[in-house]
Structure 1
Amino acid sequence: MTIVRVARIHGFGGTDMIRIDEMEVPAPRAGEVRLRMKAHGVVRGDILRRYGLYPAQPQPPLIFGFEGVGEIESLGAEVSGFAIGDMVGVLPVPSAQYGVCGELAVIDASQLVPHPAGVSLEKGAALWSSYLTAYNGLVFDGGLRAGEPVVITAGSSAVGIAAIQIARKIGAIPIAVTRGADKVERIRSFGAEHVIVTDTCDDLAAEIKTLTGGQGLRIAFDAVGGSQLLSLIEAMQTNGIVVNYGMLDPTPIELSLATLLTKAITLRGSNLTHVLLDPIKRQTAIDFVSEGVEQGPLDPPVEAVFAFDQIGAAHELVETNTTAGKVVVRISL
């Protein structure tokens, strides 16, 4: 075994529960690899896990971190397709056993994907969770087509920006929704055709209908929920679909089934885990994203980069919900 620094949660709660410990990291077993971690992209699941709110939550102390980039340092038996020295991304497969927040990390080889050529390590750490979540919701769940408008809420979030860029690559028309006017120009720079600012918009549904020439939407991609979800439903066409992948607004709402029934609207939950466990869908999504970052127009935005011993500050920034891109922790570059 080798002794290295790892970030562990020692209890559920605030960032004071995170500690940098020295501990032994075992050699990889059959089907596993050991990575020399380079960078970790903080995802919402990391925050939920720290608070003890993640499904199938393991008990502390535990190494956390769903997503990152690392260099293969050693291989366990029965691992094929990878070699020592390969730079790889770690897909955000929920696991009680594996975490990437350490100078060395043992990971199941099935969670690895080659790091795209020409992409920085920080951008690689900001890539897979956001872009696979967006691709899954837009394409597999929503069936997004070229030429049609799609509303993307939380438009300045890492997933929102990924969705804007993916919609552009497909040939659709992304309409972003955000809370503050200060983010409008940056969201436009990522490819949004229109940006709706909810702080100054009295009627979201009416604004969407105006921007779509009175036609409304066939598809909306929502991270918010709450009362904003009701506005999206109001803006839908007959046979429209609202794909929801988050609940930034956890406020319970009353939803009239009459609206859904009358317009035959589908309200669908979207979960990336199901795609990662489906070999065909997983590879289709990976190929799309890899091509998009290597050849354009996909370009993962990095809002801030923190040193390893500042991982608590990285979590705190993510929790502000004010970032326009991913927060990355540099472990070893």
Structure 2
Amino acid sequence: MARQGTYDRLPKPPVVLGFEGSGTVRSVGEGVKSLMEGDRVICLLDFTAQDGTWQEFALIPETQCFAMPKEMSFEEGAAIPVNYITAYHMLFEFGNLRPNKSVLIHMAAGGVGVAATQLCHTVDNVTVFGTASAAKHETIRKGGVTHPIDYRNLDYVKEVCKISPKGVDIVLDPLSGADANKGYKLLKPLGKIVHFGAANVVSGPQISYWNMIKSYMGVKNYSPLFMIGDNKAACGYHLGHLTDNQEMIQYAVHQLIGFYNAGKIKPVIDSVWQFDDIAQAMARIHDRKNIGKVIIIPHKNNEN
């Protein structure tokens, strides 16, 4: 999404991409107190950073580094920040997820989708509907999706209503456009839809402005007066506008590390690519072939 220009805070090219990562601290600057050389860390950069993490050595502010559990691999550490913080905020801060609730997760086999599915199961008796291509259903079902739905060949609204006629309590919407309207209609009373992306505007290697216009025109304008009568809520989420809120980010990371240490979450690594193969890695994500997180490393034998 950043490569295609859909993140509004990203500096204009030339720029080193990458908002997250993991590694070993090689040296610390003057005044750094919480870290020392040799520490293993997870990093989440401010989305306005000119120099991202897609480089062998990166300069990261102390406040944007977090201690990584000894049992966690570097690949797992790199998979935590963007996907799991996003899923955590949407489900627990916006969604107020509680036992016996139901959640619809679009793109359930992607990085955020896998994270959200795992986090749903940190709460008792949560029913998870997940859209994905049929080839990914067995995998996402094993990962915790209660009811996989083939969005390419079936109407997911009808499929959800067959099982839950009243709809769902939470919808996580990375699509926008007409799917935003469908998600709102699927909500039960007191339900919430959280919009956090616009995958429907992506067409080819770059953002499609025609698709953007169609998506914009196709989205229902939420009127507070109508929402009062509907007893529903619509929320918008963009992690890139929260990275300077360190208290909120640190709390989420603390909670996620606790879940990891308790064995309740474990990042799913789809594949690992070297810097020379970034184009193929990006194509895998764009073509929606991945299940879980696609990781980029400097060299295959570089463990740091």
Alignment correspondent of 1:237: 188
Amino acid at match of 1:196: I
- One of 159, 167, 178 as aligned partner of 1:227: 178
Cα deviations across residues 203-236 of structure 1 (Å, max 9, x unaligned)?
Answer: x333223322x33222211111222222222211
2:24 is matched with 71
Counterpart residue identity of residue 158, structure 2? A
**Corresponding position: 1:207 with 2:172:** no
Q: TM-score, normalised by structure 2?
A: 0.86
Counterparts of 1:103-122 in structure 2, within 5 Å, are 103-122=56-75
Taking the TM superposition and a 5 Å limit, the aligned residue runs for 1:179-218 are 179-202=132-155, 204-212=156-164, 214-218=165-169
Q: 1:168 pairs with 110, 114, 121, which one?
A: 121
2:208 aligns with none
Matched position secondary structure for 2:271: strand
Gaps of 5+ in 2: 202-214
Aligned residues: 284
Task: Spell out the pairing of 1:20-169 with structure 2 (5 A cutoff).
Answer: 44-45=1-2, 47-48=3-4, 52-169=5-122
TM-superposed CA distance for 1:277, in Å, is: 3.2
Partner of 2:270: 303
- Determine helix, strand or coil for the equivalent of 2:121: helix
Q: Which structure features the higher share of strand residues?
A: 1
CA gap 1:148/1:323 in 2 versus in 1, 3 angstroms: same
The worse-fitting range, judged by mean Cα deviation, of 216-225 and 161-170 is 216-225
What secondary structure sits across from 1:104 in the alignment? Answer: coil
Is 1:177 the equivalent of 2:144? no
- Which residue of 241, 252, 255 corresponds with 2:220? 255
Which amino acid is the alignment partner of residue 79 of structure 1?
V
What TM-score do the two structures reach when normalised by structure 1? 0.79
Shift of 1:279: 3.8
Q: Is the 8 A contact 2:88 2:116 kept in 1?
A: yes
Counterpart contact for 1:70–1:89, Cα < 8 Å = yes
In structure 2, distance between residues paired with 1:98 and 1:230: 37
Q: Give how far 1:262 is off.
A: 3.5
Superposition CA RMSD, Å: 2.0
* Identity across matched positions, percent: 27
Matches within 5 A, 1:272-291: 272-291=239-258
Q: For residue 19 of structure 2, what is the amino acid of its counterpart? A: F
